[in-house]
Structure 1
Amino acid sequence: MAGRIDFYDDPHAPAANSLVPSVNVMVTNTSGDVLLIRRSDNGNWALPGGAIDLGESIPAAAIRETLEETGVSCEITGFVGTYSDPKHVILYTSNGEVRQEFSIVLTARVVSGEPTPSQESREVRWVPRGEVTQYRMDRSMRLRIAHYLDGHGPHIG
């Protein structure tokens, strides 16, 4: 299976060779639980999300990616921030692509569906807010979630 390796401020990281706009979605339910996926490509926990396709709006991409990865339909409700730190690069081992981080993080509320794994997610679950930090995830994902949980205005970075 193809893999994903995240590097942050690592002098041994490969040089970026692409920049792909993407979204992540902080979906919550009526109890305030956060929807997390366990990625198939690296085993880390993360928010659902992925690349924005040509001809697609940011909210449409967020809704599509969430449904594809989790089986949950959502409605976009807000904005957490932008994340484009050139020190964070992602190596895709299947094709040698090395992406510079470029993600827009939105908030959403669940509309329907049950957490269901997909080809991109080994596990999908609702996680109580207070337990999110106990899950293994990349530092950039942890930062995005912390910005949401801390409630400090939009992050631009």
Structure 2
Amino acid sequence: MTQRHSVSVAGVVIRGEGEVLVIRRRDNGRWEPPGGVLELAETFEDGVRREVLEETGVAVRVERLTGVYKNMERGVVALVFRCVPLSEPRHSTGEAAEVRWMSLDEVHEAMAPAYAVRVVDAFEAGTQTRAHDGINLL
């Protein structure tokens, strides 16, 4: 049987001069940008809006694609989009044990390199493509 990729989407939600909305996942305790599996009937942007709203309570405007990332261990391809918040976050949700704003310095300290780079890339011009093993870039 041919193995297939899973496609996910994530939103790097940026407020003001560089605060980023992040979640601490309930399932593994890791800090990450909000996101998840893209549903079959969704556009990329609709999926980002849904995932960010479900995980943080924040409605967003999707600005642009900032990166495409492949987890080589799990076969997950993630499309990451820069977003602008249209509402305020909740403190926690069904999928997020904690929701908060972080500076870029805090992101570097709190997130695995494979996820911190997604946030950093959202501040750069253009679109990046990167591969990782779930933790570190390859």
* TM-score, reference length from structure 2: 0.84
Question: How far is the alpha carbon of 1:85 from its aligned partner?
Answer: 4.6
Question: How far is the alpha carbon of 1:128 from its aligned partner?
Answer: 2.0
Say yes or no: does 1:138 pair with 2:112.
yes
Aligned residues between the structures = 128
Tell me which residue corresponds to 1:49: 35
Tell me which residue corresponds to 2:100: 125
Structure 1 CA distance, aligned partners of 2:71 and 2:28? Answer: 21
Q: Read off the aligned partner of 1:106 and give its amino acid letter.
A: F
Question: Residue 23 of structure 2 aligns to a residue in which SS?
Answer: strand
Question: 1:156 pairs with 117, 129, 138, which one?
Answer: 129
Tell me which residue corresponds to 1:75: 61
Contact 2:104 2:120 survives alignment (8 Å): no
Say yes or no: does 1:19 pair with 2:27.
no
Within 5 Å, give how 1:94-105 maps onto structure 2. Answer: 99-105=74-80
Question: Residue 118 of structure 1 aligns to a residue in which SS?
Answer: coil
Tell me which residue corresponds to 1:7: none
Deviations along 1:44-89, whole A, 9 cap, x unmatched? 1000000110110000000000000001111001121111252xx2
Structure 1 CA distance, aligned partners of 2:77 and 2:25? Answer: 18
Contact 2:89 2:99 survives alignment (8 Å): no
Structure 2 CA distance, aligned partners of 1:68 and 1:77? Answer: 19
Structure 2 CA distance, aligned partners of 1:77 and 1:113? Answer: 18
Question: How far is the alpha carbon of 1:39 from its aligned partner?
Answer: 0.6
Structure 1 CA distance, aligned partners of 2:58 and 2:84? Answer: 10
Tell me which residue corresponds to 1:108: 83
> Which structure 2 residue ranges, 5 or more long, are not aligned?
131-138
* TM-score, reference length from structure 1: 0.74
Say yes or no: does 1:84 pair with 2:39.
no
Tell me how large the CA RMSD over aligned residues is: 1.7
Percent of matched pairs sharing the same residue: 32
Question: Residue 94 of structure 2 aligns to a residue in which SS?
Answer: coil
Question: How far is the alpha carbon of 1:31 from its aligned partner?
Answer: 4.0
